[in-house]
Amino acid sequence: MSNIAKAFEKGKAFIPFLTCGDPDMDTTAACVRECVKNGASLIELGIPFSDPTAEGPVIQAANLRALSGGATTDKVFDLVRSLRRDVTVPMVFMTYSNVVFSYGAEKFISTCRDTGIDGIILPDLPYEEKGEFAPLCKKYGVDLISLIAPTSENRISMIAKDAEGFIYLVSSLGVTGVRSEITTDLASIVKVIRQTTDLPCAIGFGISTPDQAHKMAAISDGAIVGSAIVKLIAQHGPSSPPYVGAYVNSMTSSL
């Protein structure tokens, strides 16, 4: 069984996203530990990339800050090694295909296994091209997590059937970022997913308030939040861990 399943064993999962190295690796590590202390079930770590096409301005800016501060893929792996001394919840990377290619796909995925990363999310990897990485992920026991979007329509079952770890259901069209309202008919998409697979399904993109998280978790197995957390870190810099912890606590309580 995938280690990621543990994130969903105790009910609805709250999954925070952080950009590694924004503003520095020590702050990222402290924020991860605050997230776990306040009930996060799984941690999504963003590896900074210069052209993060799925991201809105908040996370784009975080990527640039991290890269300007000297963040590299090797330093992110060092961060994960350090976190794994005491952090036991599942952790996944959210990054881009070019990051994996430029590092060397086998080296990247085997290092994920060796450092304790349970899965990878590549938003720019179409389902039809997952064969580039899927065999290596299977070889090293790292889940290649699939995204399903409102535009997936007749491909939902096909994507869900082959999914691993959990399914990342994208709440809205467009890029990441705080949204005042989520109007997509997600319940009908979740219904199709449920008919196809027993894997848990978590909803992300646009969730920022406890009320939104509660509504999303009510129709799925969990909620993913990135931009609202990254905004807090942008605002408070190295002093942000307690603010992130308090925010995560408010969100986990709402689930």
* pLDDT (average), residues 34-53: 93
DSSP string, 110-149: HHHHHHT--EEE-TT--GGGGGGTHHHHHHHT-EEE-EE-
CATH architecture of 13-142+205-250: Alpha-Beta Barrel (3.20)
Average pLDDT over residues 147-173: 89
Please state, in angstroms and rounded to a whole number, the distance separating the CA atoms of residues 77 and 91.
Answer: 12
The pLDDT score that the predictor gives to residue 174 is 47
User: How many angstroms separate the first and last alpha carbons of the chain?
Assistant: 25
Q: Is this structure's pTM higher than 0.85? A: yes
Considering only 1-5, 74-78, 139-143, 243-247, which range has the smallest mean pLDDT?
1-5
Side-chain-side CA neighbours of 45 within 13 Å: the count stands at: 29
Residue 209 to residue 125: CA distance in whole angstroms: 29
Between 88 and 152, where is the model more confident?
88
pLDDT at residue number 46: 97
Q: What are the tens digits of pLDDT across the range 230-253?
A: 999 999 999 999 999 999 999 999
Mean pLDDT, residues 13-42: 98
Rounded average pLDDT over 21-30:
98
pLDDT band at 173 (very low <50, low <70, confident <90, very high): low
Give the least confident one: 112-121, 174-183, 209-218: 174-183
